[in-house]
Structure 1
């Protein structure tokens, strides 16, 4: 089968959607299928700036939300043109990764299925890109409905998103949990000391890793808020963030207020390969997601990667995280926004590495059985074939 995966966002980029696309492509190709990816990154830099990003910035100055709708509609036009340009490759199916790409793909006449990764309108509100209940939010949600009702099949990355799509559009989707390349994320703790020297991380320090885009729904301020309490029992602990986003300023304020500069490292956006190394050199991984403007964490790729890498995981009991982590068995779940619980769980794993290793071993076994990219690719193929009938 010849498959086109398309997205109106940049590819590759630091984030779960990009990781999903790369891993799905690898799984489908491993099964013998031909897969191409088209994205906003394939648009010329001049067109991107002059027609999408520049006007978006100016329109948002007039009213919050106008710019993001302009930008996304321009991305839709760009994707439509790219798909038309590549029609001679005779794709059997397009797998669109967002509503605007779905609409672009539908215009091509090529059979289209859509993967829903999140609550597009609510996430825009959560990030502060538009106001809740505004005209712009209504327009964005209408676009979601149009895309969901127009596509042949819908795949969601967790059950809550499937329910959301059904409630919003009346269309029944199929939930296929996120997944990882189980060969790319293998326990590699034997190289911990070597990797710490490579990245200039204290070989003796207990390391807490937060591999999260720095946005509100990911709860990234809470590890920094919990760190002073963690330091009381683990004085030489180091907290490392890998990611970028609008919450960076908040984290810096917390670090400065509590004088944590010697204990916190902000890497910014780093490559996926670098993130893999930080999983291997870390002692505990945190995925502190929270509810924000109606948005819940889906089946977190970061959590799956941590579990696959052999690192013990502490996560908040929200969204898809409750589906993939059995509290106390293959990870620890804590109440969202509960700084004390987060600190206690993290300190416990740092002080009891043998217990953490036991959880990590069980987590790895679960990933191999239930969250393999090959198994997920087979499920996607079944949906593609159903859509083509």
Structure 2
């Protein structure tokens, strides 16, 4: 099949959606399919700035959220115009966000929508749109319309499947997130000393690694809040973040307030290939996600990468994370926003390294069995074949809310 993966976001970019697309592309190509990617990055830089970014930035100064809607709608328009020109080259489009869904459907293409999260709620959670605003309601309606118009929906966990059922009364197929199990695996070939030197991490310090975008739903503030208690028993511990986002300023404030600057590294955006090096030196990986404005973590790719890399994981007991981990068997789950509980879990793993090794070994086995990119690609392939076979090109009605971004 000729398959197009489409998104209004940059590609590649920081975050799980981009990683998902990369791994899906790899798995599908290994199965003999031709796979292309269409994203906002596919268009000339000047065009992207003039058509979407600059007007959106100005409009946001006037009213929060209005510029975000304009920006996203213009990105959708760019995708639609391109899809009109290439629609006969592809058997199916796998759209990775609601605007890409609307663009593909309007272009008359067989469309599979992969739903990675709670689109409208996440826009509120990250501060792009004000809660209970006209803009928030508008995005909720666009989200519902996208789910209704797509030929087939794929949810990355059962919580999102239930969400789609509630929002649009449609049954989605569940294909849980996945990783390249050959790429993310326990490695003895990495020189730990060199990696620590590159990232300025002391040679023998235990490393608490947070491979997360610095956004509210990822609970990234809580490792900083828990660290002082950890340092009292393990005073050489280092907390390392790889990611950027709107929570960075708050994290920096809390670090300074607690006087723990020497124990925290904020690395910013780290290339995906280098993430493997950081997993290789991590003592514990923290994925402390929380409930935020109705948003729950999906099946976190960061958590899967840590599991594949043979590192014990402590995760928030929310959303899809509860579907990944069996508490005390292949990971540790902590309550939402529980600083003391997070600190206690960290201390248990630092005090008893053999316990962490047992968790990590069980987690690696689970990833190999349930979250391989090859197995996921095979499942997506079946969805694509059915979509291409039963596609109806007459679903998009002129004047609908998704039409031309209006």
1:133-192 deviation per Cα after TM superposition (whole angstroms, max 9, x unaligned): 211111111111111111100001111111111111122111111000001101115633
1:52-96 deviation per Cα after TM superposition (whole angstroms, max 9, x unaligned): 1111111112221111110110000111122234346x1110000
Find the aligned partners of 1:141 and 1:87 in 2 and give their Cα distance: 28
CA 1:133–1:200: 2 relative to 1, 3 Å: closer
Cα deviation, residue 386, structure 1:
1.4
Q: Tell me the secondary structure at the aligned position of residue 77 of structure 1.
A: helix
- The aligned counterpart of 2:371 is 371
Give yes or no for contact 1:162–1:172 (8 Å, CA) kept in 2. Answer: yes
Matches within 5 A, 1:27-38: 27-38=27-38
Asked if 1:342 corresponds to 2:368, the answer is no
Q: Tell me the secondary structure at the aligned position of residue 13 of structure 1.
A: coil
Find the aligned partners of 1:99 and 1:317 in 2 and give their Cα distance: 27
Matches within 5 A, 1:1-389: 1-87=1-87, 90-189=89-188, 191=190, 192-389=192-389
1:242-286 deviation per Cα after TM superposition (whole angstroms, max 9, x unaligned): 000000000000000001110000000111011111011111000
Give yes or no for contact 1:27–1:377 (8 Å, CA) kept in 2. Answer: yes
Q: Tell me the secondary structure at the aligned position of residue 132 of structure 2.
A: coil
Find the aligned partners of 1:282 and 1:193 in 2 and give their Cα distance: 12
Find the aligned partners of 1:327 and 1:173 in 2 and give their Cα distance: 27
Give yes or no for contact 1:315–1:334 (8 Å, CA) kept in 2. Answer: yes
Give yes or no for contact 1:2–1:92 (8 Å, CA) kept in 2. Answer: yes
Cα deviation, residue 200, structure 1:
3.2
Q: Tell me the secondary structure at the aligned position of residue 318 of structure 2.
A: coil
**TM-score, structure 2 as length reference:** 0.94
Find the aligned partners of 1:50 and 1:184 in 2 and give their Cα distance: 39
- The aligned counterpart of 2:393 is none
Q: Tell me the secondary structure at the aligned position of residue 290 of structure 2.
A: coil
Find the aligned partners of 2:360 and 2:85 in 1 and give their Cα distance: 47
Cα deviation, residue 201, structure 1:
2.0
Q: Tell me the secondary structure at the aligned position of residue 243 of structure 2.
A: coil
Cα deviation, residue 198, structure 1:
3.9
Give yes or no for contact 1:205–1:236 (8 Å, CA) kept in 2. Answer: yes
**TM-score, structure 1 as length reference:** 0.98
Q: Tell me the secondary structure at the aligned position of residue 296 of structure 1.
A: coil
Find the aligned partners of 1:195 and 1:349 in 2 and give their Cα distance: 22
Cα deviation, residue 350, structure 1:
1.5
Cα deviation, residue 43, structure 1:
1.4
Alignment RMSD: 1.1
Q: Tell me the secondary structure at the aligned position of residue 86 of structure 1.
A: helix
Point out where structure 1 has 5 or more consecutive residues left out of the alignment. none
Count matched residues: 388
Cα deviation, residue 339, structure 1:
0.6
Find the aligned partners of 1:159 and 1:142 in 2 and give their Cα distance: 22
1:183-227 deviation per Cα after TM superposition (whole angstroms, max 9, x unaligned): 110111563334323433212100110000000000000000100
Point out where structure 2 has 5 or more consecutive residues left out of the alignment. 390-406
Give yes or no for contact 1:189–1:281 (8 Å, CA) kept in 2. Answer: no
The higher relative CO (CA closer than 8 Å, separation ≥ 6) is in: 2
Find the aligned partners of 1:316 and 1:204 in 2 and give their Cα distance: 27
